[in-house]
Copies of this chain bind each other. A is one copy, B any other.
Amino acid sequence: MAAPKSALARRNGDFSEEERAAVYRAIFERRDVREHFLPDPIPDEVLERILRAAHHAGSVGFMQPWNFIVVREAATKGAVKDLFRKANDEAATRYTGERATLYRRLKLEGIEEAPLSLCVTCNRQRGGRQVLGRSTVRDTDLYSTCCAIQNLWLAARAEGVGVGWVSILDHEALKQVLGIPRPVKVVAYLCLGYVSEFAPHPDLERAGWRARLPLEELVYKEQWGRRHDDEG
């Protein structure tokens, strides 16, 4: 394969084959982890590297709207676990039959097993009333925060640390537990810890809940719904 790249680009900061493979490895071996957490604490310097990775995401208008609340105390985790139980009991009622049985069997969080939780928030007022690039699409601050989370997730994978995103939580109630003020929005509650293994496939794929979609079905050319260059 001959990639038609200019010599200039090649000179300027290119990744080696090995470096590129490592980036893809982190991307493909990252998992949403809910089990196999080990009790070993995450050293401060490892946590700092992971958070610094998050902080180096791009953000709309360089707004850097994120904060990170590091939760280690059992009492706090217990309160969050209670919120999960409540939201999950509610969610479970939405399924019937076999699907309900399967739902109940799935492990959807590791709040109390993981040595550390991180609540990632977005301060929607940071940077004042005019944030460059945000006047047209207001939610770009939330989008930036999610990009920070993905950085964090991949850095953690490279550190051997599993991350699980617990989305079944009432965020208003979570704000009460963590003392988060009104203009700040919770984006994610993450559980972090070293793990005995990273599963080869996503849990929900393995459990038969849903299959991975073929990439080619998701890619269009020039227009929504167009698969081939000559269509249309």
Binding site for B on A (CB under 8 A): 1, 3-6, 8-10, 12-15, 18-20, 22-32, 38, 40-41, 43, 45-46, 48-49, 51-53, 55-58, 60-64, 66-73, 76, 87, 90-91, 94-95, 103, 106, 108, 121, 127, 130, 132-137, 139-140, 142-143, 146-147, 149-151, 153-155, 157-160, 165, 167-171, 178-181, 184, 187-188, 194-198, 202, 204-205, 209-210, 212-213, 215, 218-225
Decide if B62 touches A224 in the complex (CB within 8 Å): no
Shortest Cβ distance from residue A144 to the other chain B in the assembled complex, whole angstroms: 8
A168 near B133: Cβ-Cβ < 8 Å: yes
**Known contacts A13-B29, A204-B62; A68 and B218 CB within 8 A of each other:** yes
State the CA gap A133–B127 with chains docked (Å). 32
Residue of B whose beta carbon sits closest to that of A73? B222
Q: CA of A13 to CA of B26 in the docked complex: distance in angstroms? A: 11
26 contacts between A and B (CB under 8 A): A6-B194, A6-B196, A9-B194, A9-B196, A12-B196, A13-B160, A15-B158, A18-B19, A23-B26, A27-B56, A30-B56, A51-B219, A61-B204, A62-B204, A62-B205, A69-B221, A90-B135, A91-B132, A136-B167, A142-B142, A142-B146, A143-B188, A146-B146, A151-B154, A178-B224, A184-B224
